[in-house]
Amino acid sequence: MKRALIALALLAAPAAAQNAPDPHRLALAAGYKAAFLCSGRWNAGQGVDAITRDDLTGIYREYQDLIVELPATIDEAARTVSVKMPGSLPPRVAVWRPLLGCAQLPPGAGEAAAAAVPRLTPDLVKPDLAVTDARAWPLGDAGAVQPVKDRRTRAALDGVVAQAFTDAFRSDKTTAVIVIRGGRIIAERYRDGWTMHTPQRTWSVAKSLTATLVGRAVQMGMVDVTQPAPVPGWSAPGDPRAAITWSQLLRMNSGLWTAGPGNRTDEAYLGGAMVAQTAATMPLEHAPGSHFNYSNNDIMLAALALSRRLGPSALAFPFTELLWKTGMTRTTPETDWRGDFILSSQVWMTARDLARLALLYRDGGKAGGEQLLPPDWPAFVERADATQPAAGPGYGAGFWRWGGAAGLPAGTYAMNGNRGQYAVIVPAHDIIVIRRGFDHLGAAFDMPRFAAAVVQAVTARNKK
C-alpha cells in the first residue's frame, strides 16, 4: 500500500520536479562554471564567450546542460564570480588572487567570505614580465626558436604539426604545439587568437608539477621520499596510513580507497571542499605499496604533506623555489579556500612554461646554472619502482612511462592531462613534444601517435 501511494505521488508531481537535478549536482555545476569563468577571466585574460566556447563546452555530461542555464555575475572590481542557482540555494562564488588564481568558497558562503581566503604576502611580487621575457631562452623568450636548417626535414615537421590542428589525430581542438630538440624550439604553432603567453588549465599535468616540487624539496634536504609523508590527520597511534611514503603517493601506490580508478574529486575541484577535508579522509583498501590505483587524492596528499612540511613558506615555495627559477612566470597554481594547493589538476600554464618544465628534466634538474632537482630525479620519476597499471602505459612518479607506445623509444616519459594536455620527453632523440587543447569528452587527441610522427619527421634523414 505504501509503495502504491509513493507511486501515485510521483505521478501527480509536476514532470519538471521529477526531472530536476538534485541540489548537490546543481552546486557542483555552479562551482564548475564559477571556477572556469574566474580562472579564465583573470588567469588567462579571456572573455566570457571564449571561456564558454573552450572551458565550458565538451565537458562532463552531468554538468554540461546545467551550466548553460545557470546565470553568472562577474565582478571585475572585486575579482569574483558568483553563479546563481534555482530557488533558495545560495550562489557559488569563486574569488581570484594575485599569483594564486581562483579559489572556490564553500557552499553557503557569500561574497563577503572572499576576504578571508589566504593570499600571498604583499612583499612577494611577480617578476617584471618585460624584463624576464627579454632573457635568453628558456629563462626568457629571446632566441627560443631555431628552425631546422634542412628544408625537407623542416617541411616534414611542419606538415605533422599542421595536422595536429585538424582531426588527423582524432581531435581538432588543438591550441598549441611546440617541438624542442637540443633545448631549442624547432617548431611552434598556435590556434588563431592564441599566443605563447596564453595560459590554460593543465588538468593532470599538474601531477608532474607536484612531483617536481617534491623533488625540489628533496634537493633542499627537506624531504626523504622513502620516509612516511606527514599527512595531517594520520598521526594518531595505530593509524596504518601513517606508514604511507612520499614515493608511494607520487607513484599512486598508497593503497588508499578511492571511488574507482582515476577517482573524480569533484568535491575539491568544484564543490568548495578542502583538500584536507576530502583526500586525507580516505581509508586503506590495500597495503601501502601493493596496489596501483590512478588517484587524484594521492597527488593532492603529496602536495598537502609538502605544505605542512614547509609551514609558513608553503604558499610562496612554488614561485620562489621552482617556477621563477625556471622562467615559468605565467604559471598559476590554485588553492582551496583554506590555502592548500589543489596540485592534482588546478594549475594554469602556457605552452612555453610547460616546455620549460619538460626542459628541466631534459637538463638533469638544472636551470639557470642552479641544480634545482637531484641529478637522478628524472630517472626517479620515469622509473617503475612500484606496482603498475593493469593495462596501457606504465606509471613512474607523477609521470607516465611511454616507452614502446606507438613505437616511441624506450625511456620516453610524459606529462598527461585531461582534455589533451601533454608534454612528451624523448631522451633517446633529445626531443620534447608539447600539445595543448580543449578536447571534447570521447574525442581524445592521439598523442602517442602524434609524438611518434614528430620523432619520425625530425629523425628520418638521419636514418638514411
Reported as a pLDDT band with limits 50, 70 and 90, residue 262 is confident
Provide φ and ψ at 109, rounded to 5°.
-85, 140
In terms of Cα–Cα distance, which of 219, 231, 424, 207 is closest to 296?
A: 207
Parallel, antiparallel or unpaired: strands 184-190 and 101-104: unpaired
C-alpha span between 62 and 76 (Å, rounded): 29
Mean pLDDT of 440-462: 94
Against a cut of 0.75, is the pTM above it? yes
Reported as a pLDDT band with limits 50, 70 and 90, residue 5 is very low
- Predicted confidence at residue 149, as pLDDT, reads 95
- Predicted confidence at residue 462, as pLDDT, reads 64
The per-residue pLDDT of the chain, averaged, comes to 94
Provide the 8-state DSSP code for 120. -
pLDDT in tens, 201-230: 999 999 999 999 999 999 999 999 999 999
Cβ atoms of residues 421 and 436 within 8 Å: yes
Q: Is the pLDDT of residue 16 over 70?
A: no
pLDDT in tens, 289-315: 999 999 999 999 999 999 999 999 999
Task: Point out which residues pair with 423 in neighbouring strands.
Answer: 415, 434
- Predicted confidence at residue 463, as pLDDT, reads 61
Return the residue matching grid coordinates 540555494: 89
Query: In the chain, which residues fall in CATH 3.40.710.10?
Result: 200-463
Q: Is the pLDDT of residue 2 over 50?
A: no
Q: Is the pLDDT of residue 122 over 60?
A: yes
Mean pLDDT of 159-172: 98
Q: Is the pLDDT of residue 88 over 90?
A: no
The second-level CATH assignment, the architecture, of 200-463 is: 3-Layer(aba) Sandwich (3.40)
C-alpha span between 353 and 208 (Å, rounded): 13
